[in-house]
Amino acid sequence: MQREMIRLTALGAVTGLLAGAVVLAFRWLIEASQRAFLPGGQLGNYEALPGWAILGLPVAGGLVLGLFFERLPEHLRSVGIVHAIQQLRHTGRPNLPLGNALVQFFAGAFAIVCGHSVDREGPGVHLGAATGSWVGGRSDDADSFTLTVCGAAAAIAAAFNTPLAGIVFVIEVLGVRYRVDRFIPVMTASVIGAIIAQLAYGATPTFELASNLQMVSNEEILLLAGLGLVTGSVAVAFIALTEASWRLGGHLRPSLAFTLAGLATGLTGLAVPQVLGISYDTLNNILNNHLGLAALLALIAGKLLATGISVGLRVPGGLIGPSLVIGGALGGVLGVMVQSLAIPTSSEAFYAVVGMLAMMSAVLRAPLAALMALLELTANPNVIFPGMVAVVSADVLSRQLLGRESIFEHVRRLAEVRPGERVSGDDGGHAAESSSRQGERDD
């Protein structure tokens, strides 16, 4: 038994190394492509493009990507976190083929570079899980499952330099039951994924954060609770828009669906060019108090619209990053507004940081992962209590309105029904069935 654990932990370490390398290669491809054609060679600098390019780039990119997808066999079109969840939930060995991973790698990068409002973290989870599945190719079903989870955890750890959040992510979002003996390899993979990211990009967090992030008065508790309630409401709207887009466009062929997604992004980008691409450069501006109230409100509306439609129309990218941007902008709005109050208040950056993690929690139904990410990104324990106030408020409100599903579970169920069929807002029997299957796997 001890020898088995050592062997599986060693394979987990290999998985973390390879998954971290794949995720960083994916990031490098995106960044090298952006530097090659964006003005000034600056990452995410889509707002400096002329108007015709802001509109035309995502439309043309969507058309090219859609035509490519139409030439693929149906089984190779399944990509993203939803694909990983589907494979982890069915009985037997997880099957994340190399072909799907290659489609995710190049199609996901192409969509982001063309300005579609999606992120690299969702594709990264798929790529990491596929790497773990490949490492566990000759192992039994249980070990293959564990190594697939190792890859997903390492991907999140490498993406944000947050190894603890990577571990909690696979529990809350992927629905993996925690067992000490099975999670030692997962922890090992997550740590090594973070080390790979640090070797490539340094030990600094993904986002540029101020050092004085803390609550300065007890009166702010009510403000933070209010921020959580607003964030939870926006998360509900985000999920509803994604579902509506899926219902209206889920039956469309990829060339039309992706082009329409590009058109929605391009038209939105004409008014709010910061919505194009991942928008992490804009998020860093929010976290450093560089955006005014009008710009923040426009960014919230634009990013919500462009991402909800893009994800609903099945563009092969992720939505974790956009949820962080939207949440950061929501927190930034509150931060700007409270500066005029008579009570002592924290900085705009403080509210932006809390808002982005509260939005992540409400959209993904992952409060612990959000809090762990908050702690690891800020390296500041003072943010945990105010973060908990906002996260709990956002999560309770969104759960009351939408039930227990994360957006990934919602999309997964939408993908499993024919266009036009009704999907309940509550996970009910589907969640019970998934839990039962997961229990059988872990036992």
Q: For 103-133, how does the pLDDT look when each residue is reduced to its tens digit (9 = 90+)?
A: 999 999 999 999 999 999 999 999 999 999 9
For residue 423, is it within any domain? no
Place of tokens 């802001």: 54
Dig out the tokens for 61 from the structure. 């990119």
Residues 52 and 163 in one domain: yes
Rounded Cα distance, 318 and 310, in Å = 10
pLDDT in tens, 159-181: 888 899 999 999 998 888 887 77
Which of 201, 236, 261 represents a domain boundary (last residue)? 201
For residue 386, is it within any domain? yes
For residue 437, is it within any domain? no
Q: What percent of the chain has pLDDT over 90?
A: 54
Residues 164 and 304 in one domain: no
pLDDT in tens, 228-238: 999 999 999 99
Residues 256 and 142 in one domain: no
Which residues span the domain enclosing 109?
2-201
Rounded Cα distance, 353 and 31, in Å = 24
For residue 123, is it within any domain? yes
For residue 144, is it within any domain? yes
Residues 57 and 170 in one domain: yes
Q: What is the CATH number of the domain that holds 273?
A: 1.10.3080.10
Q: Are 354 and 387 in contact (CB under 8 A)?
A: yes
Q: What pLDDT is recorded for position 211? A: 62
Residues 136 and 251 in one domain: no
Dig out the tokens for 40 from the structure. 């000034």
- Give the number of domains in the chain: 2
Q: How many CB atoms lie within 10 A of CB 92?
A: 11
Residues 186 and 229 in one domain: no
Strand partners, 206: none
Q: Are 286 and 77 in contact (CB under 8 A)?
A: no
Dig out the tokens for 321 from the structure. 């990053």
Residues 82 and 184 in one domain: yes
For residue 86, is it within any domain? yes
Rounded Cα distance, 193 and 160, in Å = 10
Q: What pLDDT is recorded for position 224? A: 92
Q: What pLDDT is recorded for position 443? A: 41
Residues 95 and 36 in one domain: yes
Which of 172, 201, 230 represents a domain boundary (last residue)? 201
For residue 288, is it within any domain? yes
Where is pLDDT greater, at 57 or 413? 57
For residue 184, is it within any domain? yes
Report helix, strand or coil for 347.
Answer: coil
Residues 141 and 38 in one domain: yes
Q: What pLDDT is recorded for position 434? A: 41
Residues 175 and 266 in one domain: no
Residues 224 and 187 in one domain: no
Place of tokens 């997604």: 261
Give the closest residue to 433 by CA, choosing from 420, 418, 412: 412
Which of 135, 168, 201 represents a domain boundary (last residue)? 201
Residues 295 and 383 in one domain: yes
